[in-house]
Structure 1
Amino acid sequence: MNLYGLIGMPLAQSFSKKYFTEKFEKEHIANAAYELFPLENISLLTDLLQTHPELKGLNVTIPYKEQVLQFLNALNNEAKEIGAVNCIKINNGQLTGFNTDAPAFEKSLLPQLASHHKKALILGTGGAAKAVLYVLKKLGIEYAYVSRNKGAGFVYEDLTKEIIEAYPLIINSTPLGSFPKVDTAPDIPYQYLTDKNYLYDLVYNPAKTLFLQKGEERGAAIKNGYEMLVGQAELSWEIWNTK
């Protein structure tokens, strides 16, 4: 049996197990299983690998996309540049890290990207934000981080009408608004949004977060993270099954 799985914390609402289990059934992939491995601490990864020598691949989610780097034997170039990993290939005890978030995000972002979306705000500074940043740089889109703490970029209280106008693309890379806390949203001044804005939410459950609802009410283009999620899952499967 070839085993694959997801590490992170918490994982109760994860999409991955259902997605891969259905994929295995639909595509008649025998001797394969996908399980959830909630780890209270990333140090427990060592025990997990020893307990399950049949593991061939892992996905990595919040909060371990950066913390997992110390356990890897190698990184592909994209993951190395991003500094975050969401896919691990396991081969003869060797762990190689990849980032499938970036290409999946890029592909799902592009269809609604307009010529005036030349500057972007990235809400959050975690591992997912690093993949977003990598793609924006690749596309030549200027960016600024927005977080709760002073440091790089803006804090939420800094955001004005002028900033929202200057940075029409706004990407939520935080878990705010995800199930079950669907009544939460990043604290941006939604009243200044217009049809010039494009709000992209990496959250996929619910399909329309409060962040996206508020954007849609103001005429903004909106997109959730479901397409990105499917894209990164399929890219992970390709990586795990490439010699």
Structure 2
Amino acid sequence: MRTFGLIGFPLSHSFSKKFFSEKFENEQIADCSYELFAIENANEIQDLITAHPSLCGLNVTIPHKVNVISFLNEIDDAAEEIGAVNCISIDQNGNQPKLKGYNTDAYGFSESLKPLLEKHHQKALIFGDGGAAKAVKYVLDQLQIPYLVVVRNPVQNTILYSAITEEILNEYTVLINTTPLGMSPNLYSYAPIPYQFLGAQHLAYDLVYNPEETEFLKKAKNQGAKIKNGLEMLFLQAERSWYIWNI
């Protein structure tokens, strides 16, 4: 039996458990299970692995994506550059378990974004500068798409929402929301930008997937922009975890 799971705190609901439980059932993968491990501190990962010798892989969510790194033997290049891990492979065949960290958010975002990009999508605005923005920045750097980070309060190397003008929106045609704005239950919150200057040349991408169409996406779509939510990214990063655990 092979066990996989999700660590984080709290873990009231989990896309990952539903996804993998259904995957194992639909694909008739009988020797695998996926569990939720609500651990308050990242250092509890060591006791967790000792207590579950069948544990082969973990997904990592808030608040452990950064703190867990110090308990790993190795991390891949993307996770190192991003500074966050959301997938861990566990090799328990030796005397000591070997843990390697990955960031599959970057893969999921990249693979869901690339098919949408057109020649005029040369520059991007990133709304928010929290943990979710790290993977987005990494991917845009890889794709050689320059970007500006937009925030509510002044921070170095960012601009304020109030600074976004028609001229900026004409130049920066990819808009990416990495904040919780618009996420259930706060359905009517959205990035405060002048939506009247958006048009068919714009691509609006929201990492939020619940609801499927946030206010940000609705407002962009009403101006003729192309829109995308974060659901495919979520599926892609989950499948990438499965690939990593089975290398």
Query: Is the TM-score greater than 0.5?
Result: yes
Amino acid at match of 1:71: F
User: In the TM superposition, what is the alpha-carbon distance from 1:10 to its structure 2 partner?
Assistant: 4.4
Contact kept, 8 Å, 1:84 with 1:99, in 2: the verdict is: yes
Instruction: Indicate the residue corresponding to 2:181 in structure 1.
Output: 176
Seen in structure 2, the aligned counterparts of structure 1 residues 44 and 191 have a Cα distance that, compared at 3 Å, is farther
Pair 1:208-2:208 in alignment: no
Amino acid at match of 2:151: S
User: In the TM superposition, what is the alpha-carbon distance from 1:42 to its structure 2 partner?
Assistant: 3.3
Q: Secondary structure at the match of 1:137?
A: helix
User: In the TM superposition, what is the alpha-carbon distance from 1:58 to its structure 2 partner?
Assistant: 1.0
1:102 and 1:4 map into 2 onto residues whose CA distance is 21
Pair 1:78-2:52 in alignment: no
Pair 1:193-2:198 in alignment: yes
Pair 1:241-2:246 in alignment: yes
Seen in structure 2, the aligned counterparts of structure 1 residues 98 and 146 have a Cα distance that, compared at 3 Å, is same
Seen in structure 2, the aligned counterparts of structure 1 residues 126 and 42 have a Cα distance that, compared at 3 Å, is farther
Q: Determine which of 215, 221, 225 is the counterpart of 1:220.
A: 225
Larger Rg over CA atoms? 2
Contact kept, 8 Å, 1:204 with 1:226, in 2: the verdict is: yes
> Unpaired runs of 5+ in structure 2?
none
Seen in structure 2, the aligned counterparts of structure 1 residues 210 and 7 have a Cα distance that, compared at 3 Å, is farther
Instruction: Indicate the residue corresponding to 1:129 in structure 2.
Output: 133
Instruction: Indicate the residue corresponding to 2:54 in structure 1.
Output: 54
> Unpaired runs of 5+ in structure 1?
none
Seen in structure 2, the aligned counterparts of structure 1 residues 145 and 38 have a Cα distance that, compared at 3 Å, is farther
Contact kept, 8 Å, 1:57 with 1:87, in 2: the verdict is: yes
2:10 and 2:200 map into 1 onto residues whose CA distance is 35
Pair 1:97-2:97 in alignment: no
Pair 1:143-2:137 in alignment: no
Seen in structure 2, the aligned counterparts of structure 1 residues 13 and 185 have a Cα distance that, compared at 3 Å, is farther
Seen in structure 2, the aligned counterparts of structure 1 residues 9 and 31 have a Cα distance that, compared at 3 Å, is same
Seen in structure 2, the aligned counterparts of structure 1 residues 240 and 180 have a Cα distance that, compared at 3 Å, is same
User: In the TM superposition, what is the alpha-carbon distance from 1:43 to its structure 2 partner?
Assistant: 4.0
TM-score, with structure 1 as normaliser: 0.91
Seen in structure 2, the aligned counterparts of structure 1 residues 78 and 130 have a Cα distance that, compared at 3 Å, is same
**Alpha-carbon displacement from aligned partner over 1:52-110 (angstroms, at most 9, x marks no partner):** 33321111223432232222111112222222211111112221101111122111112
Q: Secondary structure at the match of 1:33?
A: strand
Q: Secondary structure at the match of 2:237?
A: helix
Pair 1:14-2:19 in alignment: no
1:72 and 1:11 map into 2 onto residues whose CA distance is 22
TM-score, with structure 2 as normaliser: 0.89
User: In the TM superposition, what is the alpha-carbon distance from 1:228 to its structure 2 partner?
Assistant: 1.1
